[in-house]
Structure 1
């Protein structure tokens, strides 16, 4: 399958803010299924679009996942909201996958035409999470640094984080192990991702300019 490799070299302030908002709003669905046995496995940042990665909770191969490429703006040019993105994703994951010859990072990629996509109605869980999030995570003037613009569960106990250390800086992919001294690692992320001697390029991943391997940190 042909790989779509339009690489994210930098991100403007608006794109970083929207990608971080969408990622933050969908995190619950790595634990709660979108539909049936289908879970959120990643949110990948790309120019003008977001790629929602779905699959079974116990999947260990990226080829067994599915990525849906969805525009960041609606037909009126307005930024897509997290509830709308979630409802589109739920519709997509509740129907049979269309055939595709495209892929990204070995994940089959489906380009979505949202103009013909009927959004699914929100569930009671969706509504409850929206209320609880609003009360538990109120808006703050100072956003997290670095901003989390996406993530991908890459295997058992491993995750790639897509981080924007600065609003207009290239996105950094940080590979982390989900065991060990996580509190210390998270506290050190801003400095670790800024150490250029750690940067390498992953030719298979177009969603970041550099990758930092922190799995043994």
Structure 2
């Protein structure tokens, strides 16, 4: 994956932050968010059951970052489109990526599902608990993928890289220390490797044994 412009990264980070709660709050029925993958001019919203991590049990919906009028799409719209598509029955994939079914979404023909009561609750709580600041997290998290019951892959936009850096971490162990050190560790180029199986990153870093 080649480099991404600042506006693209900013929008992907905004959509990722907005959707994080839906890893626990189902999108529709028993379907939850399992990842947000950054790619050029789009995000790929990965869905599956609450504990699904096997690629063949996941579906990635590729949603463009701009609408027909070349305006940035909002995170609530991305959520609404994903709900509509998820509720529509088995998907008809256009391709596959990382072993997952890939559906490229034509947003001009998909009606977004309306907000739910849970959405409204989360809006109130987010506003009060996480008020907007002019200094977003740095480096920004522009995507993630749950890869196991005890692991996940984070997509971090690092200015020194020509695209997102994928960072594999465990969800147990010295997690507090890891999160504090992560902004430094991800910038250490000697840790960078190449993952030819993942088109969503320019480099990969394995911190599962850190």
- Using the size of structure 1 for normalisation, the TM-score is 0.93
Cα offset, 1:13, TM superposition: 1.1
The CA RMSD measured in Å over matched residues stands at: 1.3
Cα offset, 1:114, TM superposition: 0.7
Question: Aligned partners of 2:207 and 2:139: how far apart in 1?
Answer: 15
Q: Matched residue pairs, number?
A: 210
Counterpart position of 1:211: 204
TM superposition outliers: structure 1 runs of 4+ over 4 Å: none
Counterpart position of 1:170: 163
The answer on 1:138 being equivalent to 2:131 is yes
What CA deviation, in whole Å up to 9, does each residue of 1:135-181 have, x standing for no partner?
Answer: 21111111111100000001111100000123985210000000011
The answer on 1:62 being equivalent to 2:55 is yes
Cα offset, 1:15, TM superposition: 0.8
The answer on 1:83 being equivalent to 2:72 is no
Cα offset, 1:11, TM superposition: 1.7
Decide whether aligned partners of structure 1 residues 101 and 25 sit closer, same or farther in structure 2, where only a CA change above 3 A counts: closer
Q: Pick one of 17, 38, 51 that aligns with 2:44.
A: 51
What CA deviation, in whole Å up to 9, does each residue of 1:20-55 have, x standing for no partner?
Answer: 000000000000100011000000000011100000
The answer on 1:121 being equivalent to 2:126 is no
Question: Aligned partners of 1:97 and 1:110: how far apart in 2?
Answer: 11
Counterpart position of 2:34: 41
Decide whether aligned partners of structure 1 residues 123 and 158 sit closer, same or farther in structure 2, where only a CA change above 3 A counts: same
Counterpart position of 1:26: 19
Question: Aligned partners of 1:87 and 1:167: how far apart in 2?
Answer: 34
Question: Aligned partners of 1:167 and 1:52: how far apart in 2?
Answer: 26
Partner secondary structure for residue 212 of structure 1: strand
The answer on 1:14 being equivalent to 2:21 is no
Cα offset, 1:98, TM superposition: 3.1
Unaligned runs of at least 5 residues, structure 2:
none
Does the 8 Å CA contact 2:160/2:187 hold for their aligned counterparts?
no
Question: Aligned partners of 1:156 and 1:29: how far apart in 2?
Answer: 17
Counterpart position of 1:4: none
Question: Aligned partners of 1:33 and 1:167: how far apart in 2?
Answer: 36
- Using the size of structure 2 for normalisation, the TM-score is 0.96
